[in-house]
A and B are shown apart, each in its own frame.
Chain A
Amino acid sequence: MALPQTKLDATEARIAVLDMPEGGWSGPARQAALARLREMGLPGRRDEYWKFTRPDTLVQPEPPVAALFDPGERPAFDEIDKLKIVFTDGVFNEAASDDLSLEGVTIERLATSGSDLHWAQSLYGQLEANGQVPVHRPLAALNTAFATDGVLIHVTGKPSKPISISYRHESQTSDAILHHVVKVDAGAEVTILENGPAAARFNKCMEIDVADGAKLHHVRTQGRDHERRAATHIFARLGAESVFKSFTLTANGVMTRNEVVIELTGDDAMAHVAGACVGDGDFHHDDTVFVTHDAVNCESRQVFKKVLRNGATGVFQGKILVKQGAQKTDGYQISQSLLLDEDSQFLAKPELEIYADDVACSHGSTSGAIDEEALFYLRSRGVPENQAVNLLTLAFLAEAVQEIEDERLADEISTRIEEWLIRHRD
């Protein structure tokens, strides 16, 4: 079906301001992605999948100006021993980055990975392309086509420390497109950290292949710049008995759309994806998750919690698709919001689509205020109202934060949330 003229125009206008890198081995994948993008067109306001989130500012040729912001706190994961890779406004920052060598893993940059055959060729744009069915994700295709850089991580063993990708934002008009590929070999295990606001507008895509018996832990914080915008995608494919766990903390940000697309392709695999967000005022946060069970006896969990105040908006679109034959599936999905006033809103669309008959899937979505009974109980013990509200808010977010396996990381996330709550007290 031909695209409507407005959509066609918007897509071409966006493409017109972008240059496709030479690419070398990634060239064919980039060309294919561009063709996909032209066929789908960039998201528009009438698209069902963008019903709750206006794509305009993520799609327009130039990003809206985003004021810089000094968070007045240490960057996330500062005290964790890690291999550090830094991008500033989407450009690799060599001076701030560590040497990219670490035992058990090979790390290269997309931009300098040469023209030869490359292991990443079988993944780059491939998981993204698979993830375009049944729902289009045009911003991810745009990313594959035009990504200027990114990190290619091949995990062959169990590196001794996490690999951290930090994104700094120093230009008010930067428009960054980064594409990472992570391949975790059978039995290997890695932790990947991400933090920072990245750019005025950030389009990021991460394709992750977790082989049989491999484990990937992913923890990210998205940076507290109020005016930054981000559209991110994670495409993960899981082999037998593999584990994938991803957690995201989002505090502030005028516009965030985080899409996670997971395909469980091997038996007995486990995928947990969780998110906590806290928004005050001009804040729109959208978690869109699509988990496909295509193997036997797999477990998936989606745990998303949002704290919203002063007119902030939270969105959750989550789906569990259980294919025929994916018996013994254990699927769980919960999305909840804590609305701290009547001006804020939470829009949720939880979905289950099941074609196997021996599965256990549950989903729930709630929107609520602070529990007045619990608040009075705390106050009657001498806890001041503000502090009691914060305690209950942290407790509300705890189920999501607890999805982080590493206690040090979980503690740091809790502390960051607590500090945010204290800063945002009335």
Chain B
Amino acid sequence: MLEIKNLHVSLEDEDKQILKGVNLTVEAGKVHAIMGPNGSGKSTLSYVLSGRDGYEVTDGEASLDGEDLLDMEPEERAAAGLFLAFQYPVEIPGVGNMTFLRTAVNAQRKARGQDEMNATEFLKLIRAKAKDLKIDADMLKRPVNVGFSGGEKKRNEILQMAMLEPKMCILDETDSGLDVDAMKLVSDGVNALRDAGRGFLVITHYQRLLDHIKPDVVHIMANGQIIKTGGPELALEVEQHGYAHLLEEVA
């Protein structure tokens, strides 16, 4: 589903190489986790895939179901089925959460040549999904992420994911800033979306998120490359011994 080959990325403004040849394939129905120390390039990978400005791809490719992602605008990538749950969801004063979601859902439907969802249908759907994530009516009315707690912001990301039903979900440190209960709630939300047609790439520092969202494959990223790939046991190894010995192993 998601195929990344030899991806090299540097910052546009400074001559600094962040990704130095990333190779990764996420199959439909699978959950891949990427772990790695700070500054290893995990978040950069998620931003480059979703089309954020400020990065320059110097080599390599990335595709979703065979379509070249790097050639698309961010909104085209979203319509193609890519979703990034932000590490730091953005506050948008003046735009109601509900308006935002409805605009997004209908923009994607339109881009795929589907009919727009009417207000009643939309309301019914969002109420059901919001309930599962314990998002109340007030949170839906408020401006996007404005005044939301850390946990509320992350739940709101998962709500967007549930509404947009993407093919490929990237979760960028979705566990950061979450307490135990919120982590459970968010994980349940993600697990509810797992199915045979959908791929996940979960970026995290810690093993604990992976207790809730069980990965099929775990990658360790360091210094802009994936240095080791294994099963869920690799995450446990990191938890017990840290990254240092893995880095030494590779060196």
Stretch at the interface among A25-33, A128-136, A381-389: A381-389
Are the C-beta atoms of B108 and A378 separated by less than 8 Å? no
| Chain B residues with CB below 8 A from A384, complex form | 73, 75, 107, 111
Q: Report A370-383 CB contacts with B as 1/0, cut-off 8 Å.
A: 01111011111111
How near does chain A come to B142, taking the closest CB pair, in angstroms? 13
For residue B104, which residues in chain A have a CB less than 8 angstroms away from its CB? 378, 381-383
Tell me which of B83, B92, B143 contacts A377 (CB under 8 A): B92
- With both beta carbons as reference points, the residue of chain B lying nearest to A398 in the complex is identified as B94
Give Cα distance in the complex from A371 to B104, angstroms.
Answer: 18
Which residue of chain B is the closest to A399 with respect to CB atoms? Answer: B94
Chain A: interface secondary structure? Answer: helix
CB of A377 within 8 A of CB of B51, answer no
CB-based contact A379/B53 at 8 Å: no
Q: Do residues A380 and B50 form an inter-chain contact, with CB atoms below 8 A? A: yes
- Judge whether A354 is part of the interface by a CB distance below 8 angstroms: no
Find the B residue at minimum CB distance from A379: B74
Once bound together, how far apart are the Cα atoms of A383 and B92, in whole Å? 14
Q: Which of A376, A387, A398, A399 contacts B107 (CB 8 A)?
A: A387
On whether the beta carbons of A374 and B92 are closer than 8 Å, the reply is yes
Tell me, in angstroms, the Cα distance from A380 to B51 when the chains sit together.
Answer: 8
- Establish whether residues B94 and A395, one from each chain, have CB atoms under 8 Å apart when the complex forms: yes
User: In the complex, which residue of chain A has the Cβ closest to the Cβ of B77?
Assistant: A380
Contacts of A383 in B (CB 8 A): 75, 103-104, 107
Q: Which of A382, A385, A391 contacts B108 (CB 8 A)?
A: A382
Chain B: which residue is nearest A390 at the CB level?
Answer: B103
A382 and B78 within 8 A (CB): yes
A372-B53, A377-B89, A391-B103 known; A385+B75 contact, CB < 8 A: yes
Does A377 lie within 8 Å of B75, measured CB to CB? no
Across-interface contacts of A391 in B (CB, < 8 A): 95, 99-100, 103
> Is A385 touching B73 in the complex (CB atoms < 8 A)?
yes
Is A420 an interface residue when CB atoms closer than 8 A count as contact?
no
CA distance A396 to B79 in the complex (A): 26
Question: How far, in whole Å, are A371 and B145 apart by their CA atoms in the complex?
Answer: 15
Query: Which B residues, 66 to 111, have Cβ-Cβ distances below 8 Å to chain A?
Result: 73-75, 77-79, 83-84, 86, 89-95, 99-100, 103-105, 107-108, 111
CA distance A376 to B92 in the complex (A): 11
Known: A384-B107, A398-B94. A376 touches B52 (CB 8 A): yes
> How far apart sit A379 and B83, CA to CA, in the bound complex (Å)?
11
A361 touches B (CB below 8 Å): no
Taking a contact as CB atoms under 8 Å apart, the answer to whether A373 and B95 are in contact is no
CB contacts under 8 Å to B, within A320-367, are none
Residue A10 is within 8 A (CB to CB) of chain B in the complex: no
Is the beta-carbon distance between B89 and A376 smaller than 8 angstroms?
A: no
Q: Is there a chain B Cβ closer than 8 Å to A392's Cβ?
A: yes
Q: Closest residue to A391 on the B side, CB-wise?
A: B95
Closest approach, in angstroms, between the C-beta of B116 and any C-beta of chain A?
13
B74 touching A387 by the CB < 8 A rule? no
Complex formed: what's the CA distance from A392 to B52 in Å?
18
Residue of B nearest to A373 (CB): B90
Partner of B164, one of A374, A377, A382, A396: A382
Chain B residues near A371: list those with CB within 8 A.
92
A59 interface residue per 8 A CB criterion: no
Interface presence of A394 (CB below 8 A): yes
B71 to nearest A CB, angstroms?
15
Chain B min CB distance to A309 (Å): 19
Min CB gap A115→B, angstroms: 53
A residues neighboring B (CB under 8 Å)? 371-374, 376-385, 387-388, 391-392, 394-396, 398-399
25 cross-chain CB contacts under 8 A: A372-B53, A374-B91, A374-B92, A376-B52, A378-B92, A379-B78, A380-B50, A380-B52, A380-B75, A380-B78, A381-B100, A381-B104, A381-B107, A381-B160, A382-B78, A382-B104, A382-B105, A382-B111, A383-B75, A384-B75, A387-B103, A394-B94, A394-B95, A395-B92, A399-B94
Which residues on B are within 8 Å of A, measured CB to CB? 50-53, 73-75, 77-79, 83-84, 86, 89-95, 99-100, 103-105, 107-108, 111, 143, 160, 164
**Shortest 7 CB-CB distances between A and B: which pairs?**
A395-B94, A382-B78, A382-B108, A381-B104, A379-B74, A377-B90, A398-B94
Besides A374-B90, A380-B77, A382-B107, 15 more A-B contacts (Cβ < 8 Å) are A371-B92, A376-B51, A378-B104, A379-B75, A380-B51, A380-B86, A381-B78, A381-B104, A381-B164, A382-B104, A383-B107, A384-B75, A384-B111, A395-B95, A395-B143
